[in-house]
Chain A
Amino acid sequence: MKPYNIYISGVGGQGIIKTSTVIGESAMKSNMSFVMSEVHGMAQRGGGVSTELKIGDAHSPIIEYGSADLLISFEPLEDLRAIPKISHKTTVIMNTSIIYPFNLSAGKHSYPNIEDIIKELDNKSLKVYAFNANQIAKESGHLLSMNMVMLGAAAAVNGFILEKEVVIDSMKINLPEKSLDINLRAFESGFDSIKSS
């Protein structure tokens, strides 16, 4: 089976590693092989984070250029940084909420226009779902559930390889009990936001 490749990118503290763990657990529950690698140099100090996930028959955990089936991007700038991994076969889910990089000479190079970012991704991928996941997360009960909004959205995408129910089961195992309800709500809202678009 040709692997299903998921690339996740964003900024430290957004819950990317946790999301990846839930996906990995779901793959294994579904009796599929799973490999993953993560780049999180100094994530806690405000740097970028990305993970590469392959579900199916793969040896190496690195997604080759243009081979991502799905790009889940938690932050628009990090979406642009992921472009080498995508092609016209890639579905893109993007959170439009911005985290500005700290930069001493603010204004030296400014943050690109969000409309331009969406257009750029649209040109280079199969389909882009862009929405404000922070907003949905807040409505679900807590900003920190944004990663589960994104995961819910992923589960709703055409061709997503895992069953929604299995993903929910894995969430129950991997997330702290006291925030589980909020996270499940966030997941469902993310799911609905794709289904209804």
Chain B
Amino acid sequence: MHKNLVEKMEKLKNISNNSSLNKIFNKNGKIGIITSGSAFNYVMDVINENQLEISVLKITLSYPFPDQLVLNFIKDLETIIIEEVDPIMEKEVLSIIGQNQLKKNIHGKLDGTLPMIYEYSPNIILNALNKVTDTNLDIYDANMSEIKIPERQPTLCPGCPHRAAYYSVNKAVSELNLKNVIYPTDIGCYTLGVASPYNSADYLLSMGSSIGTSCGFSKATDQNVISFIGDSTFFHAGIPPLINAVHNKNRFVLVILDNRTTAMTGGQPHPGLSTDGMGWEAPEISIEEIVKATGVKFLRLINPLNIKKSQQTFKEALEFNGVAVVISRYPCMFIKRKREGNLSLEVKQNKCNSCAKCITELACTAIYIDKEGLTHIDPQLCNKCNVCVQICSEKAIGIKNSFNR
């Protein structure tokens, strides 16, 4: 088997050496650039705009590396390797130089001509050319704003069920007086839980890593671990680590944020829904049944918009000695926004004591404080999830019937 593969690679090398995918452009000048991917585009723009005499070898079929082609190309040229990310081609070229005992310098990331970091741009290429040639090219100047520009950060939508879940988890943690809780998380809108006031995303490695890393954290520390994963990510990469968590007797709380879609990337379906990727009807795979089958002994289902019940459930989960799973199920606001209708929510100014907890603790983006310091709800943004109504200690948020006004 291995023999077959080695022989195949030899044949492929031949193909790669002769493939039209590995192509030489602008054959002229004393400088040669070996490049690939989007770096090729920047190189070509720089050459064309400055009318430079530079040969370019564009590598598209890069494995097995076209050694003969490269050897012939670099022979008589001062060579620069321009590639993004790691210096893979550069090392290949160095090995060709070594094998053929050539006395030759090449430029790239390893000798500092190009930076190891950043996506490339024409400016980075111009700088590199200025370093190793006598071209002396003009670098583009960036104007800078003299006015300080406030950031525009993405946040959870008004009424997002994740916000409600984070709010309740935080309340449960503080009511149980837990310190140093570790919050592994995963990839989705809920990663925005990293922001204040939620602070519920400490660690993220890759898709599905929330559960696997929770196993590690729970073994290595005696801190409480609360882990978050979305419904589609759970199907994608959450099941094997959950099985391991139970089997290895780990102790942590796993919150499956089931918003019935893959929200962050635009609402694609997943196996937990009754529609497949083609829009056909499909069997709905139950998250509950999967969790039960892994042997989890603590499993609860909550509606995160019900704050009291959710807090209570999270508290119980935190006290459980083992893997405790809470499925927090409510549709994404893109599926279930309740903008229509005549009812809207308002802050009753005679009751509101300006504690601003709906802003500092819940931080719904539909709630704001005006110039006079009064709290309001923007009816254009509010999705009527009713969470602020439940958390206001003064009972100052209520329903108004805008139809009558």
Contact yes or no, A116 B360, CB < 8 A: no
Is B153 positioned at the interface, with any CB of A under 8 Å from its CB?
yes
Give Cα A117 to B150, complex, Å.
13
Is A160 positioned at the interface, with any CB of B under 8 Å from its CB?
no
Q: A36-49 vs B: 1/0 string, CB under 8 Å?
A: 00000111111110
CB contact under 8 A between A66 and B122, given known A57-B48, A80-B149, A103-B150: no
Contact yes or no, B141 A65, CB < 8 A: yes
Contact of B197 among A2, A41, A45, A104 (CB under 8 A): A104
Contacts of A77 in B (CB 8 A): 149-150, 152
Give Cα A43 to B153, complex, Å.
9
Q: How far is the CB of B389 from chain A (nearest CB, A)?
A: 20
Is A162 positioned at the interface, with any CB of B under 8 Å from its CB?
no
Contact of B123 among A2, A64, A78, A116 (CB under 8 A): A64
Is A83 positioned at the interface, with any CB of B under 8 Å from its CB?
yes
Contact yes or no, B149 A81, CB < 8 A: yes
Q: Please name 13 pairs of A and B residues whose Cβ atoms are closer than 8 Å in the assembled complex, sorted by A.
A: A42-B192, A46-B153, A58-B45, A59-B42, A59-B44, A59-B45, A65-B123, A67-B140, A80-B149, A83-B145, A104-B197, A112-B148, A124-B143
Which residue of A has the minimal Cβ distance to B191? A42
Interface residue ranges of B117-172 to A (CB < 8 Å): 121-123, 140-157
Contacts of B40 in A (CB 8 A): 59
Which of B38, B155, B359 has the most chain A CB atoms inside 10 A of its CB? B155
CB contact under 8 A between A84 and B144, given known A45-B189, A101-B152, A103-B150: yes
Contact yes or no, B143 A84, CB < 8 A: yes
Which residue of A has the minimal Cβ distance to B160? A45
Contact yes or no, B155 A106, CB < 8 A: no
Give Cα A48 to B155, complex, Å.
12
Q: How far is the CB of A4 from chain B (nearest CB, A)?
A: 14
Q: Flag the segment in B205-213, B275-283, B292-300, B363-371 that touches A.
A: B363-371
Give Cα A107 to B121, complex, Å.
36
Contact yes or no, B142 A66, CB < 8 A: yes
Contact of B154 among A2, A46, A61 (CB under 8 A): A46
Give Cα A45 to B191, complex, Å.
12
Q: How far is the CB of B241 from chain A (nearest CB, A)?
A: 26
CB contact under 8 A between A64 and B144, given known A41-B154, A59-B45, A106-B368: no
Q: How far is the CB of B304 from chain A (nearest CB, A)?
A: 18
Contact yes or no, B147 A116, CB < 8 A: yes
Is B264 positioned at the interface, with any CB of A under 8 Å from its CB?
yes
Give Cα A45 to B150, complex, Å.
17
Give Cα A59 to B142, complex, Å.
21
Is B196 positioned at the interface, with any CB of A under 8 Å from its CB?
yes
Give Cα A60 to B149, complex, Å.
28
Contact yes or no, A101 B153, CB < 8 A: yes
CB contact under 8 A between A65 and B142, given known A59-B40, A101-B153, A104-B363: yes
Contact of B153 among A80, A102, A120 (CB under 8 A): A102
Is A130 positioned at the interface, with any CB of B under 8 Å from its CB?
no
Is B321 positioned at the interface, with any CB of A under 8 Å from its CB?
no
Give Cα A19 to B152, complex, Å.
22
Contact yes or no, A104 B360, CB < 8 A: yes
CB contact under 8 A between A48 and B144, given known A60-B122, A102-B365: no
Is B248 positioned at the interface, with any CB of A under 8 Å from its CB?
no
Contacts of B369 in A (CB 8 A): 106
Contacts of B48 in A (CB 8 A): 57, 59
Contact of A120 among B146, B152, B156 (CB under 8 A): B146
CB contact under 8 A between A120 and B155, given known A60-B41, A62-B121, A104-B360: no
Contacts of A112 in B (CB 8 A): 147-150
New contact pairs (13) apart from A41-B154, A80-B145, CB-CB < 8 Å: A42-B189, A45-B157, A46-B365, A60-B41, A62-B121, A64-B122, A65-B140, A65-B141, A65-B142, A77-B150, A104-B196, A112-B150, A116-B147
Contact yes or no, A117 B147, CB < 8 A: yes
Contact yes or no, A48 B152, CB < 8 A: yes
